[in-house]
Structure 1
């Protein structure tokens, strides 16, 4: 059973690690050419109808944008299986050219720098249906226990343009948020991001459900959830908590989601105020496992502890909480608030969020259990390729960005070797880059500055190379010597070592040094691998 489970797990975290050739389609989606950088999206205004039985979408996205550089052409994106019905600006139909999923829109006159524009992009079609969401992108069309439609969508990595026209790149979040209006058959509800602003019977057997997002939002986070939902409302510290679950699950959800309150308290203490108070916090039951949809977190873990009833850390600690609730909610701070400019830097989302699970464990159960949890995750690390992916082609790095990323941050904590300083740094990081789009260089510079230590070689080794640092130990000339074996030149990192029952800290380099405290025997030297994610090699 565990073996079958691990196969499924590794399919989840390594789906993008298989070597693939770079194509023109990849560069169109992942690249930043002038047709993309010449404008800044201000707001998306979706107004669509979804027919669950026909698996069909129709409607428009009214896109508000500001011109950054004079241009007569911009690029928007919509999967090529979807139909472009028309694109209209100031009641004038615009010409466009399609290349794969890219739509190059030509304007009759040059749009001037600093001018604000609003076009309507009408479209329709049957969106891609996911084979196994959220591990592949697409819609999920299912039935609940009463035989009613139950619909969700997850498109991280695949691209939001799978189901609506958008500037499909993480560098540009709509500054003023989004309006999401979705008409669904009467008797069903649609739950999207942000605040519910009302519903309207449109008179054709459909009811439109309107939602408003006031904060910037990742393209892949904009979502729809269609079902005959029960609504549960609660609050914590002035934050609205709203849960939308299938009616059969209302009673168990009320009890199970009590875990949200201590989670919010922990994360606000360690990472700062919940980033999207204006839009509220929601958990929405979905027909797939989960996704970090901003202010409308997708939940499909069956109201179980662990990950589908299993412990990803193999330590027992993972069964103390619901993995999906904690992990996907952690993304509200890391991924939704702090976003990477390129998917190649997705470790900024996943490494910090996976580490947030350890933070939650420490908040509730203490340091020892937290260390047991994070170190249990070593069994999930494959060290198959670098965590950082290929830039400009919509290509993530290794799935190790999750567990190896968390273990790296745990290592960084113990390199700093001052918990008061560490928690202050982590809090300042979350606050400094709140609702911003950043890259790895920004992260490194921040931690270098705040720690007063040159951590760049350590970041480079863990993020840009497959291998983790190897602490080599040898007995020579009557003493024990040590050094780091790494890919990065001039690598330097401290390590705590227990010698004859006494712990000392030494700073290793790639050159051999004599271990102090008169260590004579290799077997008496015990590096503290629970604090540092390293390998030890006794020569």
Structure 2
């Protein structure tokens, strides 16, 4: 059977192949995936490194009544070096009813999935250049998210109008909670086609480009989507009673970008209109600040979800309930949209570099506040970010780590990848100047300084890559900046001493070189003090009024922040003890 035939029959075969599968009892005790499955971005096996993942064609029937699914995944690979087995990840909560290799059923004793890494033995071997197709029929009750999106899985909810309202959020736990995949950023498929079958009274917006809807004889509908080079958690499920709002955005780069918002039909039309009005402003900000929207040949999409949000490529999840605050824009919508550049176009090569997603994405919010409302609003957001730093672990450990190890906070930076990453980016911008900073960001995101629609592709990068780009763009060595801010937990401490008419400044960075210049305002005039060996001095009159770093350009240790954080901890402990 040809590969096109395999894919063509996957939807039709779905109901028949799994019709005899018993639905899990509603009152059965909750089961959990294995510890292996609940991690993501773990090292690939040699077999996984020896293949290129060309395409995934995934058909999923969603069964809201039993909170279960039925699925068929057709996975195409190209073999790069000879192997004796194929391996993908799939949650053990799913029951696998059949596996085929190139259309032939694989005997049950030649495949196993004990911990969530499904291994299929190929006794005859697969030679370099072979193009095997693995077809996996599976189903059952997937993991229900305990606290989406942070503790992920499937969210089974009901819309205000009574219809099923379902979503998946699996960034921190992996694509294997939804479909068979290689759960590692280095193994994104070249293309993902998704066919989601739903009850007839709801729809299923998806990633990439809409390729059609089929009305089935049993009253269900199948919604088909296709996305190129998707992030590994971009293959998400959305089911609900949606209405769609659309418009075209005329990009400053000459192309027209389709904008789509799928919202619940019960939403207040005025709120929907107001939120949709933010789409074009955000696009203009990002395109003028960073560069072209990476997926303009697909769409800029947003879908309302029964959980807070997630940066799903071309269809970001939105659950902020149209809240209004003093920012002057919807922070959740803007933050998730930033990840189209910092997560989906640029993907970290390992979770240890997650700050490239979250820190640079978080810095887009103060910058956007300035874009909309001016300097005061940017500084207000930077101050809020500054008050929340923990500084317990380095932002980057320089060892490969899983996503949960980075996010957890007990052994990794946790929330510091957001706020500290943003403040590091701000300090870098203040140090380099806008021209060099934004060129470095463009090279990091697009792999080139002159991105235009069609001349770049999604890419992987590390903190070390960013360091090298900064050095290349500036023609100077900024290793000291990355060493102190990214690879060291403690913030640099600036001490100041006034003796007579001399002001002496010194950086304390645990012995690390740190020639960061310091601005000093003296009687209203600003001077820059060179700190080539971490020390510098300035002659000042005895009665002069001095202000160090008057524009707060530098991320550094501040007693006022440490004192406030200590006070807050004491107050919380006292309340707990009552």
SS in 1 for 2:132: strand
Tell me which residue corresponds to 2:210: 196
Residues 117-146 of structure 1 show CA distances to partners (whole Å, capped at 9, x for unaligned) of 221121111111112211111111111111
Tell me which residue corresponds to 2:324: 305
Q: For residues 27 and 336 of structure 1, do their structure 2 counterparts lie closer, same or farther at Cα, with a shift above 3 Å needed? A: closer
For the pair 1:287 / 2:293, whether they are aligned, the reply is: no
* Separation (CA, whole Å) in 2 of partners of 1:25 and 1:200: 33
SS in 2 for 1:222: coil
Residues 254-310 of structure 1 show CA distances to partners (whole Å, capped at 9, x for unaligned) of 22220111110110111111100121111100001110001111011111234xxxx
* Separation (CA, whole Å) in 2 of partners of 1:281 and 1:43: 22
Moved more, 382-391 or 163-172: 382-391
For the pair 1:460 / 2:460, whether they are aligned, the reply is: no
Q: In the alignment, which of 429, 434, 457 is matched to residue 419 of structure 1? A: 434
Moved more, 492-501 or 403-412: 492-501
* Separation (CA, whole Å) in 1 of partners of 2:552 and 2:137: 55
Q: For residues 461 and 233 of structure 1, do their structure 2 counterparts lie closer, same or farther at Cα, with a shift above 3 Å needed? A: same
Check conservation: 1:491, 1:510, Cα contact below 8 A: yes
For the pair 1:248 / 2:248, whether they are aligned, the reply is: no
SS in 2 for 1:464: coil
SS in 2 for 1:249: coil
* Separation (CA, whole Å) in 2 of partners of 1:350 and 1:207: 37
- Which structure's CA Rg is the greater one? 2
Residues 432-482 of structure 1 show CA distances to partners (whole Å, capped at 9, x for unaligned) of 265101111111111111122322221122222221111111234762211
Check conservation: 2:515, 2:530, Cα contact below 8 A: yes
SS in 1 for 2:517: strand
1:267-416 superposed matches below 5 A: 267-306=286-325, 316=326, 318=327, 320-388=328-396, 391-394=400-403, 395-396=405-406, 397-398=412-413, 399-416=415-432
Check conservation: 1:48, 1:57, Cα contact below 8 A: yes
Tell me which residue corresponds to 2:553: 531
Tell me which residue corresponds to 2:47: 35
SS in 2 for 1:376: helix
Note the residue ranges of structure 1 that are not aligned, 5 or more in a row.
1-22, 307-315
* Separation (CA, whole Å) in 2 of partners of 1:178 and 1:250: 34
Q: In the alignment, which of 185, 188, 211 is matched to residue 199 of structure 2? A: 185
* Separation (CA, whole Å) in 1 of partners of 2:423 and 2:161: 44
* Separation (CA, whole Å) in 1 of partners of 2:80 and 2:401: 21
For the pair 1:44 / 2:35, whether they are aligned, the reply is: no
Moved more, 56-65 or 458-467: 458-467
For the pair 1:161 / 2:176, whether they are aligned, the reply is: yes
* Separation (CA, whole Å) in 1 of partners of 2:550 and 2:212: 57
Check conservation: 2:515, 2:534, Cα contact below 8 A: no
* Separation (CA, whole Å) in 1 of partners of 2:324 and 2:483: 35
Instruction: Note the C-alpha offset of 1:331.
Output: 0.5
SS in 2 for 1:361: helix
Check conservation: 2:73, 2:135, Cα contact below 8 A: yes
Q: For residues 48 and 259 of structure 1, do their structure 2 counterparts lie closer, same or farther at Cα, with a shift above 3 Å needed? A: same
Check conservation: 1:195, 1:212, Cα contact below 8 A: yes
Check conservation: 1:292, 1:328, Cα contact below 8 A: yes
Give the count of matched residue pairs. Answer: 501
Tell me which residue corresponds to 2:465: 442
Q: Which has the higher contact order (CA 8 A, sep 6+)?
A: 1
Q: For residues 469 and 521 of structure 1, do their structure 2 counterparts lie closer, same or farther at Cα, with a shift above 3 Å needed? A: farther
SS in 2 for 1:59: strand
Tell me which residue corresponds to 1:225: 238
SS in 1 for 2:138: strand
1:73-112 superposed matches below 5 A: 73-94=85-106, 95-112=110-127
Q: In the alignment, which of 51, 59, 62 is matched to residue 74 of structure 2? A: 62
Tell me which residue corresponds to 1:16: none
Residues 96-136 of structure 1 show CA distances to partners (whole Å, capped at 9, x for unaligned) of 23241211221132212232222112111111111221111
Q: For residues 355 and 193 of structure 1, do their structure 2 counterparts lie closer, same or farther at Cα, with a shift above 3 Å needed? A: same
Tell me which residue corresponds to 2:226: 212
Check conservation: 2:492, 2:509, Cα contact below 8 A: yes
Note the residue ranges of structure 2 that are not aligned, 5 or more in a row.
1-34, 251-255, 407-411, 449-456, 561-578
SS in 2 for 1:373: helix
Check conservation: 2:214, 2:223, Cα contact below 8 A: yes
SS in 2 for 1:178: strand
Q: For residues 452 and 528 of structure 1, do their structure 2 counterparts lie closer, same or farther at Cα, with a shift above 3 Å needed? A: farther
**Could you state the TM-score of these two structures normalised by the residue count of structure 1?**
0.88
* Separation (CA, whole Å) in 1 of partners of 2:402 and 2:364: 28
Q: For residues 117 and 506 of structure 1, do their structure 2 counterparts lie closer, same or farther at Cα, with a shift above 3 Å needed? A: farther
SS in 2 for 1:339: strand
Tell me which residue corresponds to 2:539: 517
SS in 1 for 2:112: strand
Tell me which residue corresponds to 1:431: 446
Check conservation: 2:346, 2:444, Cα contact below 8 A: no
Q: For residues 393 and 350 of structure 1, do their structure 2 counterparts lie closer, same or farther at Cα, with a shift above 3 Å needed? A: closer
Q: For residues 387 and 484 of structure 1, do their structure 2 counterparts lie closer, same or farther at Cα, with a shift above 3 Å needed? A: same
Tell me which residue corresponds to 2:13: none
Residues 405-434 of structure 1 show CA distances to partners (whole Å, capped at 9, x for unaligned) of 111100001111x32333343334333265
Residues 319-364 of structure 1 show CA distances to partners (whole Å, capped at 9, x for unaligned) of x110111110111011010001111211111111111112222222
Check conservation: 2:520, 2:546, Cα contact below 8 A: no
Instruction: Note the C-alpha offset of 1:24.
Output: 7.0
